[in-house]
Amino acid sequence: MIHLNTPLSEKDILSLNAGDLVLLNGTVFTARDKAHKYLLENNLETIKNSVIYHCGPIIKDNKVIAAGPTTSSRVNPYTPELIEKYSIKAIIGKGGMNNSVLTAIKGRAVYLSAVGGAALIYAKNTKIKNVYKKEFGMPEAIWELEVKDFPLTVTMDSKGKSIYADIYQKSKNIFLKLTNPINKPTITQNNNLISKLAEYETKWWQAHHRKNTESMTHNMAKLYELQFNIPYKKALEAVESRVKAGQEHDIAEMLEDKKDTEESNKHWKTVEELLKTHFKILMKETKK
């Protein structure tokens, strides 16, 4: 875990690599769509060399109630110019940013991913220092926040490495492999497989109605063999293991049901005795 303190130095930035886990301490400025537009059309010297947080916090009684990240891609168009104008050292958000931003941060800044859905946890480590353009509304205003041990992950570093780009490329390669005509079964093969599956499923149901356990096990194993492309012997072992586990589960349930029934009977017996006692007392009072 790397501990970072604002203001971030060039050495801090260049030493970080995609995949590093960091705890950030210091000042960050929130900025969403409206704030980005304002910052480009105007000058706010306070945010120079700072950290931008893509966040629309919830504030109540001058306290931060929630401070989770918002999706960063929505401000892709503004970010390269913003980095250039204000010498932004780091951007915090979620979901990553495009290649234009990756190019803009090269040698000068990093992108840090915050955890989506953890707004309350981030709020606990956050205090308000100041607010600019409050007239934009609570989520769109520029909040100057003091953060402590803010947990983040470097997902786009200053060397041009992006975890998001890597995942996209790996996913694309898998998709291309799966959709490659060479790897795809023919329509005839698919039809034969469906036909065989239907055949063994029908046989299983027939065996089930006859309560023929041996036949049920065999046909289920054949289904496993076809569905998971494994040898029949392994499929049979899997089915038998499942049947045994199911039987043990059924026995356990029966014992639990018996226990519940005994406890229930005991409970109602006690209630019955109480009712009888109350009834006797009531009858005595009535006679008086």
Burial (CB count <10 Å: 0-12, 13-18, 19+), residue 288: exposed
Query: Can 208 be counted among the known catalytic residues?
Result: no
In angstroms, the Cα distances linking 225 to 64, 186, 206, 245, 246 are 57, 19, 19, 20, 20
234 Ramachandran zone, left/alpha/beta (phi>0; psi -120 to 50): alpha
The CA angle 134-139-142, to the nearest 5 degrees, is: 50
3-class secondary-structure state, position 76 = coil
Among 36, 208, 249, 267, the active-site one is: 36
In angstroms, the Cα distances linking 165 to 7, 70, 142, 172 are 28, 19, 30, 10
CA distance 26 to 144: 10
CA distance 39 to 276: 81
3-class secondary-structure state, position 114 = coil
Positions marked catalytic:
36
